[in-house]
C-alpha cells in the first residue's frame, strides 16, 4: 500500500458538488489526500497512476441493511438460517466477496446467527477474507411471539437489557430490534415489543454510544421507536401518511429495502406462508415507499441480503420517485450518516478513507451505471480492477 493517483473520466465526490471532468483522486496509504482535476493532481502529487479514464469515480457504496449468511437466491431462504453454523459461515464468506466486487465497501449487518458476523468482521480486518468494512449488530432482538428470522427471543425489559449488554460485550457495533412482522395485519400493524422494551434497549445502547436500528413496517411500534429515539427505521413498507410525517419530523433515518417486495424472483423463494402476502401487498408497499420519499423522510438504502444487488435497490429508489442525486447519496453519503461514519467515509474528500469505485457511465444521468462496477478500492487498496486489452 502506498501512494496512488486514480484517474477517471469524471469524479463525482458525493458531496453534491458538480462532477469533475477528467478528475483524479490522490491516495496516500488508507486515506484520500486530494481530489481535483487530473492535471493539477499529477503535478502536485507524485505517485503510481491507476488508469480508470473510461470510468466515473464515485465513493464506495454503503449497504445499510445486510445479513451476511442470508441468501435470497435459495429456495425457502429464510428457513435456511437454521442450517449449520459451518454452512452459514461459508455462505457468509462467499457473500462478502460478492458484495465487495459489486462495489460495496461498507456493509451494515443487521443480525446473523451466533455472533458469526463478529468473526466475519475480524476475518476481513485481519486479511483472511475479502469483504467490505463491516458494522455488525450480532443477534437481532425480538419478542418470543414475534417475527424475526435473524433474531433471538427475549422477554421483558430485564431480558432485553441483558441481551443488549451481551451483544455489546461480543462486539456489536449497533443494536437491532424486531418491532413488527413483515406484512401488515388488518386493519392495523401490531407491535411485538412494548414501548418499555424498546426504550430500555435504546437507553442501554445509547449509554454506550451505540446506535439502534428497528425492523418496523409501520403502526404504533413506529411511534414508540421514534419516541424512544431509535436511530433508524428499517423497511417501513406500510407507513400511513401520519407516520411518514412523524418520521420526517424526527431525527431518525429510514433505510429503504425495496427488493423483498419489488423483485419477483425474491418473493418466489420466500417460505410458502409468506409468498401470497408479498404478492398481494406488493403495489401497496411500492406506493408507501414512494410516499415516504415524497414526504421528506431522510433515507438510506440496503439490500436486505440481496448480495451484489445494491445497484438494483438504488434503481428502485429512482423508480419510486427519488432524484438520482438523492438515490446516489442514499447509497454513499447518507449511508455513512446512518452508520455514524460520516467523518470517515461516504464522500471523496481529503482526509477520508480511500473507499472508491469506478463505474461505466455517469450514475447521475443513468443510475444503472452503479451496476457496472469495474474498479473497487477499499481503504486505499485495489480489490478489483478491469483488465485493459
The least CB distance from residue 316 to Zn ion, in Å, is: 16
Cell 454506550 belongs to which residue?
Answer: 208
Q: Does 71 bind Zn ion (CB under 5 A)?
A: no
The least CB distance from residue 163 to Zn ion, in Å, is: 18
Cα distance between residue 68 and residue 82, in whole Å: 14
Nearest residue to Zn ion by CB is: 304
Q: Are 230 and 202 in contact (CB under 8 A)?
A: yes
The least CB distance from residue 67 to Zn ion, in Å, is: 6
Binding region for Zn ion (CB under 5 A) out of 77-85, 87-95, 302-310, 378-386 = 302-310
- Cα–Cα distances (Å) from 110 to 70, 343, 363, in that order, read 11, 22, 27
DSSP 185-200: -SSS---SS-HHHHHH
The least CB distance from residue 257 to Zn ion, in Å, is: 7
DSSP annotation of 29: T
Binding region for Zn ion (CB under 5 A) out of 165-173, 177-185, 194-202, 299-307 = 299-307
Q: Are 275 and 268 in contact (CB under 8 A)?
A: yes
- CB-wise, 38 or 304, nearer to Zn ion? 304
- CB-wise, 60 or 111, nearer to Zn ion? 111
All residues at 6 or more sequence positions from 373 whose CB lies less than 8 Å from its CB, including other chains: 101, 102, 103, 311, 357, 358, 359, 384
Binding string to Zn ion for residues 254 to 293, with x set by CB under 5 A, is what? ----------------------------------------
Q: Among 110, 10, 130, 22, which residue's Cα sits nearest to residue 378?
A: 130
Q: Does 117 bind Zn ion (CB under 5 A)?
A: no
Binding region for Zn ion (CB under 5 A) out of 196-204, 238-246, 296-304, 378-386 = 296-304
- CB-wise, 35 or 301, nearer to Zn ion? 301
Binding region for Zn ion (CB under 5 A) out of 131-139, 174-182, 271-279, 300-308 = 300-308
Binding region for Zn ion (CB under 5 A) out of 8-16, 141-149, 301-309, 346-354 = 301-309
Cα distance between residue 303 and residue 308, in whole Å: 9
- CB-wise, 217 or 369, nearer to Zn ion? 217
The least CB distance from residue 61 to Zn ion, in Å, is: 18
Supply 259's cell numbers: 427488493
- CB-wise, 5 or 259, nearer to Zn ion? 259
The least CB distance from residue 24 to Zn ion, in Å, is: 38
All residues at 6 or more sequence positions from 71 whose CB lies less than 8 Å from its CB, including other chains: 77, 80, 91, 95, 305, 307
Q: Does 304 bind Zn ion (CB under 5 A)?
A: yes
| Phi-psi category of residue 304: left, alpha or beta, with phi > 0 → left and psi -120 to 50 → alpha | left
- CB-wise, 204 or 304, nearer to Zn ion? 304
Supply 172's cell numbers: 456489536
- CB-wise, 72 or 346, nearer to Zn ion? 72
Site residues for Zn ion per CB under 5 A = 304
Amino acid at each position: 500500500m502506498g501512494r496512488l493517483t486514480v484517474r477517471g473520466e469524471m469524479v463525482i465526490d458525493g458531496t453534491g458538488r458538480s462532477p469533475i471532468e477528467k478528475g483524479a483522486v490522490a491516495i496516500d496509504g488508507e486515506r484520500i489526500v486530494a481530489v481535483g482535476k487530473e492535471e493539477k493532481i499529477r503535478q502536485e502529487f507524485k505517485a503510481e497512476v491507476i488508469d480508470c479514464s473510461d470510468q466515473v469515480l464515485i465513493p464506495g457504496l454503503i449497504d445499510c441493511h445486510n445479513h451476511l449468511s442470508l441468501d435470497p437466491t435459495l429456495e425457502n431462504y429464510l428457513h435456511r438460517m437454521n442450517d449449520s453454523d459451518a454452512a452459514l459461515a461459508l455462505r457468509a464468506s462467499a457473500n462478502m466477496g460478492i458484495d465487495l466486487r459489486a462495489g460495496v465497501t461498507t456493509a451494515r449487518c443487521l443480525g446473523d446467527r451466533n455472533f458469526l458476523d463478529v468473526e466475519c468482521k475480524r476475518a476481513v480486518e485481519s486479511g483472511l477474507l475479502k469483504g467490505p468494512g463491516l458494522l455488525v449488530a450480532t443477534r437481532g432482538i425480538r419478542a418470543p411471539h414475534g417475527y424475526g428470522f435473524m433474531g433471538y427471543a427475549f422477554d421483558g425489559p430485564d431480558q432485553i437489557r441483558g441481551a443488549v449488554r451481551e451483544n455489546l460485550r461480543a462486539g456489536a457495533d449497533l443494536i437491532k430490534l424486531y418491532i413488527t412482522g413483515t406484512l401488515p395485519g388488518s386493519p392495523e400493524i401490531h407491535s411485538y415489543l412494548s414501548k418499555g422494551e424498546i426504550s430500555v434497549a435504546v437507553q442501554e445502547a445509547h449509554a454506550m454510544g451505540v446506535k439502534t436500528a428497528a425492523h418496523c413496517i409501520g403502526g404504533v411500534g413506529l411511534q414508540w421507536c421514534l419516541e424512544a429515539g431509535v436511530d433508524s427505521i428499517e423497511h417501513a413498507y406500510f407507513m400511513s401518511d401520519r407516520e411518514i410525517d412523524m418520521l420526517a419530523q424526527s431525527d431518525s433515518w429510514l433505510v429503504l429495502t425495496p427488493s423483498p417486495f419489488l423483485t419477483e424472483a425474491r418473493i418466489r423463494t420466500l417460505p410458502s406462508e409468506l409468498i401470497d402476502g408479498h404478492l398481494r401487498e406488493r403495489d401497496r408497499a411500492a406506493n408507501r415507499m414512494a410516499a415516504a420519499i415524497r414526504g421528506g423522510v431522510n433515507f438510506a438504502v440496503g439490500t436486505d441480503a440481496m448480495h451484489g444487488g445494491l445497484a438494483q435497490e438504488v434503481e428502485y429508489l429512482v423508480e419510486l420517485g427519488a432524484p438520482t442525486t438523492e438515490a446516489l447519496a442514499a447509497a454513499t453519503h447518507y449511508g455513512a450518516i446512518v452508520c455514524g461514519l460520516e467523518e470517515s467515509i461516504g464522500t471523496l474528500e481529503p482526509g477520508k478513507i480511500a473507499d472508491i469505485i469506478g463505474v461505466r457511465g455517469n450514475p447521475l444521468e443513468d443510475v444503472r451505471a452503479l451496476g457496472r462496477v469495474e474498479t473497487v478500492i477499499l481503504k486505499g487498496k485495489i480489490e478489483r480492477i478491469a483488465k485493459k486489452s
